[in-house]
Chain A
Amino acid sequence: MAMGKKIATRESYGNTLVELAKEHDDLVVLDADLAGATKTSIFQKAYPDRFIDCGIAEGNMMGVAAGLATTGLVPFASSFAMFAAGRAFEQVRNSIGYPHLNVKIGATHAGISVGEDGATHQCNEDIALMRTIPGMVVVNPSDDVEARAAVRAAYKHQGPVYLRFGRLAVPVVNDFDGYAFELGKGVTLREGKDVTIVATGLCVCPALEAAVLLSEAGVCAEVINIHTIKPLDTQLIAASAKKTGRVVTVEEHSVIGGLGSAVCGALAEKYPVPVKKLGIQDTYGESGPAEKLLEKYGLDVPSIYSAVRAFVG
Chain B
Amino acid sequence: MCGDPRRIEAKCGWYGDDMNKSQLERTANRIRKGIVSSIHSARAGHPGGSLSAADILTALYFHEMNIDPANPQAPERDRFVLSKGHAAPALYATLAERGYFDAAELNSLRQIGSILQGHPDMKHIPGVDMSTGSLGQGISAAVGMAISAKLRGKAYRVYALLGDGELQEGQVWEASMLAAHRELDNLTVIVDNNGLQIDGDIRQVCSPYPIDQKFAAFGFHVVRINAHDFGQILDAFGEARAVKGRPTAIIARSVKGKGVSFMENQASWHGVAPNDEQYVQAMEELNRMGDA
A-contact 0/1 string along B120-150, CB 8 Å cutoff: 0111000001110110111111111111110
Q: Does B175 contact A (CB under 8 A)?
A: yes
The chain A residue sitting closest to B122, CB to CB, is A99
A54 to B176, CA, bound (A): 11
Q: Does B178 contact A (CB under 8 A)?
A: yes
Q: Are A62 and B140 in contact (CB under 8 A)?
A: yes
Q: Are A49 and B141 in contact (CB under 8 A)?
A: no
Q: Are A65 and B123 in contact (CB under 8 A)?
A: no
Residue among B75, B123, B143, B152 making CB contact with A67, cutoff 8 Å: B143
Assuming A60-B178, A72-B75, is B140 touching A95 (CB within 8 A)? Answer: yes
Q: Are B151 and A57 in contact (CB under 8 A)?
A: no
Q: Are A67 and B131 in contact (CB under 8 A)?
A: no
Q: Are B145 and A60 in contact (CB under 8 A)?
A: no
Apart from A54-B174, A59-B170, what are 9 other A-B pairs with CB-CB below 8 Å? A52-B147, A60-B140, A61-B140, A64-B147, A67-B144, A71-B144, A73-B148, A91-B171, A95-B130
A224 to B169, CA, bound (A): 45
A100 to B136, CA, bound (A): 19
- Interchain nearest-CB distance for A129 vs B (Å): 16
Q: Are B177 and A55 in contact (CB under 8 A)?
A: yes
Q: Does A158 contact B (CB under 8 A)?
A: no
A72 to B77, CA, bound (A): 13
- Interchain nearest-CB distance for B53 vs A (Å): 21
Q: Are B140 and A91 in contact (CB under 8 A)?
A: yes
Q: What total of chain A residues lie within 8 Å of the partner, measured CB to CB?
A: 30
Interface residues of B in 99-119 (CB under 8 A from A): none
Assuming A28-B151, A98-B131, is B145 touching A70 (CB within 8 A)? Answer: yes
Q: Are A67 and B151 in contact (CB under 8 A)?
A: no
A90 to B141, CA, bound (A): 14
Residue among B134, B149, B170 making CB contact with A71, cutoff 8 Å: B149
Q: Are B175 and A64 in contact (CB under 8 A)?
A: yes
The chain A residue sitting closest to B148, CB to CB, is A71
**B-side interface residues toward A, CB under 8 Å?**
75, 79, 81, 121-123, 129-131, 133-134, 136-149, 151-152, 170-171, 174-175, 177-178, 181-182
What is the interface of chain B mostly: helix, strand, loop, or mixed?
helix
Q: Are A57 and B178 in contact (CB under 8 A)?
A: yes
Interface residues of A in 20-76 (CB under 8 A from B): 28, 49-50, 52, 54-55, 57, 59-73, 75
B-contact 0/1 string along A85-108, CB 8 Å cutoff: 000001100110011100000000
A-B contact count (CB 8 A): 107
Q: Are B140 and A66 in contact (CB under 8 A)?
A: yes
The interface residues of chain A lying within 8 Å CB-to-CB of B147 are: 52, 64, 67-68
The chain B residue sitting closest to A30, CB to CB, is B144
The interface residues of chain B lying within 8 Å CB-to-CB of A66 are: 130, 140-141, 144
Q: Are A99 and B143 in contact (CB under 8 A)?
A: no
**Complex A-B, nearest 7 residue pairs according to Cβ-Cβ distance, in ascending order:** A67-B144, A63-B140, A60-B174, A67-B141, A57-B174, A64-B144, A71-B148
The chain A residue sitting closest to B120, CB to CB, is A99
The chain B residue sitting closest to A71, CB to CB, is B148
- Which of B121, B145, B148 lies at the interface centre, i.e. has the most chain A CB atoms within 10 A of its CB? B148
The chain B residue sitting closest to A58, CB to CB, is B174
Assuming A64-B178, A99-B130, is B141 touching A70 (CB within 8 A)? Answer: yes
The interface residues of chain B lying within 8 Å CB-to-CB of A60 are: 140, 143, 171, 174-175, 178
The chain B residue sitting closest to A57, CB to CB, is B174
Assuming A63-B143, A66-B141, is B151 touching A50 (CB within 8 A)? Answer: yes
A72 to B144, CA, bound (A): 11
Q: Are B133 and A59 in contact (CB under 8 A)?
A: no
Q: Give 20 CB contacts A-B under 8 Å.
A: A52-B147, A54-B178, A55-B178, A59-B170, A60-B174, A63-B137, A63-B138, A63-B175, A64-B144, A64-B147, A66-B130, A67-B141, A68-B144, A68-B145, A70-B122, A70-B145, A71-B75, A91-B134, A98-B131, A99-B131
A91 to B145, CA, bound (A): 16
A28 to B133, CA, bound (A): 26
The interface residues of chain B lying within 8 Å CB-to-CB of A72 are: 75, 148
- Interchain nearest-CB distance for B273 vs A (Å): 24
The interface residues of chain B lying within 8 Å CB-to-CB of A99 are: 121-123, 130-131
The interface residues of chain A lying within 8 Å CB-to-CB of B140 are: 59-64, 66-67, 91, 95
Q: Are A63 and B149 in contact (CB under 8 A)?
A: no
Q: Are B130 and A59 in contact (CB under 8 A)?
A: no
A100 to B122, CA, bound (A): 10
- Interchain nearest-CB distance for B48 vs A (Å): 23
A57 to B171, CA, bound (A): 8
- Interchain nearest-CB distance for A60 vs B (Å): 4
